[in-house]
Amino acid sequence: MAWNRAHVGDPQTGANALEWSITAMRDATQRLAGDQVLDHAQGFAVISEAVWWVTIVDAALVRYHHQAYESAIESQAPARRGAIEGTFAGLRFARNQMGYRLDPADFIQPGEGHLGPGHDCVTSWRWRSLPQPDLGSLPHRGRAWEATRYRAYQAQLAGHTIGETFGRATAFLNLAFANLAAA
């Protein structure tokens, strides 16, 4: 904590942390397409990790590098922009619910085939449709926030493959990061 306090606002420290996070996100999403996943539990873990890293990088870019992020958003066609924004909102919903209120298996429908090299890749698994969560315990503003993210999850993730979702998210985050590096 002392080191963090001493380096608040240090651009080099922030750039290094973001580069490290981008690398971790890329590693996590590359594991989705790998053939090392042997069972459903491992597949759920790999997907959960990818959700975490993608949403961390997204949040860092939105909060600390808003211009690069907005430039990347504005470079997209309107329909693609809506899909990207909805994908991130849906992934935030998954991150907020997964492991706390719902099990990862509640979110993800594994493929039908035998898992293993060349048989069934985690990227072909699909996000499940979910019933509207009970948000009554949240304050009014929190209910509205989470309900918006739930609707985005249903529209942009439910029924879609893991590969499609993370492909869209990582392509955009890599573009936003490239905009930052160019600046």
Query: Is the pLDDT at 100 greater than 50, yes or no?
Result: yes
pLDDT single digits (tens) 114-156: 455 544 688 999 999 999 988 888 888 888 888 999 999 999 9
Reduce the DSSP state of residue 139 to 3 states and report it.
coil
CA distance 48 to 34: 15
The answer to whether 144 and 37 have CB atoms below 8 angstroms apart is: no
Average pLDDT, the chain: 85
pTM of the model: 0.85
* DSSP code, position 35: S
Domain boundaries, the chain: 12-182
pLDDT grade for 113, boundaries at 50, 70 and 90: low
Comparison of pLDDT for 178 and 182, the residue scoring more: 178
> Which residues lie closer than 8 Å to 18 by C-beta, 6 or more apart?
57, 60, 61, 64, 65, 177, 180
pLDDT single digits (tens) 1-22: 454 455 455 455 455 678 888 8
Comparison of pLDDT for 82 and 111, the residue scoring more: 82
Comparison of pLDDT for 38 and 114, the residue scoring more: 38
Residue 59, number of CB atoms within 10 A of its CB: 14
Region 68-82: what's the mean pLDDT?
A: 94
CA distance 52 to 27: 12
Query: Is the pLDDT at 28 greater than 80, yes or no?
Result: yes
CA distance 175 to 22: 11
pLDDT grade for 84, boundaries at 50, 70 and 90: very high
Q: Which amino acid is at 135?
A: L
How much is the pLDDT for 13?
Answer: 46
How much is the pLDDT for 1?
Answer: 42
Region 46-75: what's the mean pLDDT?
A: 93
Query: Is the pLDDT at 96 greater than 50, yes or no?
Result: yes
Ordered alpha helix ranges (H), the chain: 2-6, 11-32, 40-64, 66-74, 78-97, 104-107, 140-156, 162-182
Structure tokens at 153: 């999850």
